[in-house]
Structure 1
Amino acid sequence: MSWIGAGIFIAVHGLACYAFPATASIISLAFLTSSALIASWATYRRARASGTPGWSLLAFAQLLWAGGMAANGLVYLALGYETGESIASMLLFILYGVPIIFATASPTREVSPVRLIDGLLALMLGLFFFAHTSVFATIAGASVEGAANLARMFDIENIFIALFALVRLMSCRDPGEREFFASLSIYAMLYMLTAAFINHTQEDTDFGGPVDLLIDLPFLFLALMASHWHQSQRSPTEVPLRLERVIQAVSPLMLPATLLAVSAGLIHIQPVWTMVGFAMATLVYGLRNILVHLSNLEERDRLERLSQIDALTGLPNRRSFDARLHEEWARACRNGGTLAVLMIDIDHFKLLNDGLGHQEGDDRLRDVAETLGRCARRASDMVARYGGEEFVAVLPGINAQQAMQLAEVMRSNVYALALPSPAPAARVTISVGVSWTDRPNEERYETLLSRADTALYEAKRGGRNAVVIAAMPARQTAVA
């Protein structure tokens, strides 16, 4: 769709109605249906190109509106100008707002069950709008007071759509979503003004007159925006953090609050619907809060797990190791158990990084980490990345000889990998420092770590690719 094409469409619409006055109503209904279908096709294509889900919902809304206008055309063909029975078209015009309200009031970041609840609330809102409008049938067939109430309900729906779109636009950072909500805001305001003018000043005018050309404008303008408006700025837009948080907190309330307001409007007409609306808005929103809370708990647990895992190697990180060592030390102190710590370092890792590059260095870290992790087979053992090229293991309930044997298994298994390295051994090797205690109540766990680090230093000073165990501190004796 181009500006010239839009101008031609409007001109042909007007000329066709002028040239064939006897069938102007049917001709105009066909053009109005076509304008919505054009908008639907343009927004659908934009949805496929941009990946922003709101465009698909907007395309579906245009289809519903086109269906409502097509239903009007069928009524004209079947009943002439008696339009009071066109309840089907009224339902489609009301439901037209449902996917748009859903797009504006349901954040895409929410999990699927929450989005489903939002969709149910949007559908219920549309049905309650219809319950209100069905009392007055159609504008043409209603009393003066009924027509005014009916027009007012359409005004309320259109105002809600425009307001919701503007609110989302104000808090949107993502360029694609911001472009969508900007387009929707412009379209919603144009449609709101056009519908208000038609419903309040032309309610007694049949289709086929010059005023119908105004109805084309919002749809053709939407098609133009969907086809041509692509922001050059693709970086996130700066939005005040406080404003963003306020709107994020308020957005979930928009659907149930609107449903409560519309339900309240039925209290003197359909009191049963009012009670149902109040109950459903409360219960469904409560269910939504439960689902959001469960999702937040799952996300918190996931982030907690990620915070304890080293992203490069997949092993527990230093934070996780520190917590585990503190836990095992406390247990050993209570039960009088034993505890060993291994400090492990990849030999000549700087030479490897400088000679082969950091990508190869990362690959070697992952290979060594995987091998070390396989060596610690007991559920109580933990191998973690301590930082840089250093790894560490905590081994509860183990004696000194077993700790040395496991350290030697780790050293030999890494050596057997034969990973190429510019180091003097021409392959990746590790050095291991071992510390062990059977008297946790007589020292601190920091001392155990320090002794393992000292043993690692001795292993490196002795030529690397070696395992060294730290000497046990002298047993404390009581002084008489």
Structure 2
Amino acid sequence: MPLLLVLLFLVCHGLVLALEPGPAGVGSFVFLVAAPLLAGAACLWRARRGRAVLDWYAIALSMLLWAGGMAFNLVDALGAGRADLTPRISLLLYVLYAVPLVFILARARHERPSISLIDAAMAALLGVLFFVHTAHFAARIDVDDSAMSNMRYMFDIQNLCIAVFALVRWLATDTVQRRGLFRVLALYAMAYLLVAGYINHFASQESFGAYSDLLIDLPFLLLAVLALRQTAHSSFVPSPRLSRMVQAGGPMILPLLLLVVGTLVVDHARPLAVTGFVVATLGFGLRSTLLQVALLERQAALDQLARKDALTGVANRRQFDTVLQAEWNRMRRSGAGLGLLLVDIDHFKAFNDAHGHPAGDRCLQAVAAGLQANVRRAGDCLARYGGEEFAVVVPDATLEDTVSLAETLRRAVETLVLPEGTITISIGASFLQCSALLDIDTLLAEADTALYAAKHAGRNRVAVRVAQVVHVDASALP
């Protein structure tokens, strides 16, 4: 269906050109304005039905700017009775048309709004500088024979840069949605490059209203068709190194282009050129700083996730091993006491079988929260040891401190009320001074033996092991 509509559009445009000959025909301008508007509408439709929403909106804005430039051409043609001149406002809009495209080609995915705002500011200034340079040539057309050629080459360079950047992003992007976006943009940009090159260099003597206007429709209609089609899944997988290089190098596009175009306009617009140099330098520096802050925050978050149990939010086994080793080394240097608690939820397998795994997960989360609320000393570390077992490292403690904490934890869990009923825990505690045990494995073995003793004695209790099993009556504690 989209292809039939494209053919109908071209046939209607051709009929208007045949029935309304002349360089200032209004009918052809209507189609030249309508083609980019249709492409923009297709991009808006795509933005509302997929990802990369900002990018599709940017392409739609680009189409609107181009259509605006052609609309001013129409108004000027109606007023002057000729269509071979491009008013200054149209030239500005044709230049600004490239700004949203360069913006999306330069930005990386998942960027912060502040970084995107910096990119947008640099892209807008780039458009202004490019317009100033192009307008400089346009103003000299009557006195300089090479001015028109230079202006055409400037637009060729603009279109070529967009096509090349889009092609590189298409080949290097590793996500399906963005690859689909850059595929559409690359095909459109290459078609636009060819058509604009032909119009500017081989049909430049023809005014609007000639049959070459049909060629101008083609890139926009192609964009509309591609935007309306669903992204085809491809088996092509880009090189991870290439993908990372393009992702990292993309942000350099805008500052480099600002520096290049700023250099071109330095002779006839020195203040703007200096502004371009300053914005390129500060923009890239500020962007890099914000990006570095974001990377550090993301690294910190990942580091935090690597040390936490995903279900319960307490430290995981890896973090437990790290803390225990550090406290063991510190204990050997200082001679302070080191306590260890192994906590096991009583009858957890039966609870899981009776109420289901979601209820079992909620039980683990409730127990973890209850334990964490009572592990209050700064140096103590609660961790999920595995399955339904938890562990608590108690540094700089006495035997009485360790057993007292264990009993506090037992009573805290016993008072928890779950929809499925109450639950209890058994705790095995081990304790040592510097010379009491030989290594960490022995400390863990003592705690595990104590935990077994607590379970064997009837569960919902604390058992302590100091060199040998010692059962402590918690009710006798002060």
- TM-score w.r.t. the length of structure 2 is 0.90
Whole-Å Cα distance in 1 between the matches of residues 453 and 66 of structure 2? 80
Cα offset for 1:274? 4.5
Cα offset for 1:126? 1.5
Contact 1:172 1:237 in 2 (8 A): no
Matches within 5 A, 1:33-432: 33-53=33-53, 54-81=55-82, 86-137=87-138, 143-227=144-228, 229-233=229-233, 238-266=237-265, 269-270=268-269, 273-417=272-416, 419=418, 428-432=423-427
Contact 2:84 2:207 in 1 (8 A): no
Contact 2:42 2:224 in 1 (8 A): yes
Contact 2:432 2:466 in 1 (8 A): no
Distance verdict in 2 for CA 1:141–1:106, change over 3 Å:
farther
Q: Are positions 1:470 and 2:471 aligned together?
A: no
Whole-Å Cα distance in 1 between the matches of residues 263 and 28 of structure 2? 37
Cα offset for 1:289? 1.8
Contact 2:352 2:360 in 1 (8 A): yes
**62-71 or 291-300: bigger deviation:** 291-300
**146-155 or 289-298: bigger deviation:** 289-298
Q: SS of the residue aligned with 1:391?
A: strand
Q: What RMSD over aligned residues (CA atoms) do the two structures have, in Å?
A: 2.7
Cα offset for 1:63? 0.4
Cα offset for 1:24? 4.4
Distance verdict in 2 for CA 1:442–1:352, change over 3 Å:
closer
Contact 1:342 1:394 in 2 (8 A): yes
Structure 1 unaligned segments of length 5 or more: list them: 475-480
Cα offset for 1:275? 4.6
Whole-Å Cα distance in 1 between the matches of residues 437 and 375 of structure 2? 27
Contact 2:454 2:462 in 1 (8 A): yes
**409-418 or 77-86: bigger deviation:** 77-86
**160-169 or 19-28: bigger deviation:** 19-28
Whole-Å Cα distance in 2 between the matches of residues 449 and 42 of structure 1? 65
Per-residue deviation, residues 280-325 of structure 1 (Å, max 9, x unmatched): 3233222222222121111111111111111000111122223333
Cα offset for 1:103? 0.9
The code of the aligned residue for 1:207 comes to F
Contact 2:410 2:426 in 1 (8 A): yes
Distance verdict in 2 for CA 1:134–1:13, change over 3 Å:
same
Whole-Å Cα distance in 2 between the matches of residues 352 and 360 of structure 1? 8
Per-residue deviation, residues 58-116 of structure 1 (Å, max 9, x unmatched): 10100010111111112223333386571111111001001011111111222222222
Contact 2:255 2:284 in 1 (8 A): yes
Structure 2 unaligned segments of length 5 or more: list them: 470-478
Cα offset for 1:162? 0.6
Cα offset for 1:327? 3.6
Contact 1:43 1:58 in 2 (8 A): yes
Contact 1:382 1:395 in 2 (8 A): yes
The code of the aligned residue for 1:367 comes to A
Per-residue deviation, residues 154-177 of structure 1 (Å, max 9, x unmatched): 111111111111111111222221
Whole-Å Cα distance in 1 between the matches of residues 187 and 323 of structure 2? 57
Whole-Å Cα distance in 1 between the matches of residues 25 and 134 of structure 2? 24
**373-382 or 168-177: bigger deviation:** 373-382
Cα offset for 1:145? 0.8
Per-residue deviation, residues 7-44 of structure 1 (Å, max 9, x unmatched): 22222222223323357433222211111111111111
Equivalent in 444, 448, 466 of residue 443 of structure 2? 448
Distance verdict in 2 for CA 1:249–1:145, change over 3 Å:
same
Counterpart of 2:11 in structure 1 is: 11
Distance verdict in 2 for CA 1:26–1:249, change over 3 Å:
same
Identity, % of aligned pairs? 41
Q: SS of the residue aligned with 2:48?
A: helix
Per-residue deviation, residues 167-202 of structure 1 (Å, max 9, x unmatched): 111112222211111111111011111111111122
Q: Are positions 1:436 and 2:459 aligned together?
A: no
Whole-Å Cα distance in 1 between the matches of residues 415 and 288 of structure 2? 55
Q: SS of the residue aligned with 1:265?
A: helix
Cα offset for 1:401? 2.5
Distance verdict in 2 for CA 1:109–1:141, change over 3 Å:
farther
**301-310 or 377-386: bigger deviation:** 377-386
Contact 1:315 1:383 in 2 (8 A): yes
**259-268 or 57-66: bigger deviation:** 259-268
Counterpart of 1:478 in structure 2 is: none
**324-333 or 161-170: bigger deviation:** 324-333
The code of the aligned residue for 1:107 comes to A
**18-27 or 50-59: bigger deviation:** 18-27
**307-316 or 342-351: bigger deviation:** 342-351
The code of the aligned residue for 1:430 comes to I
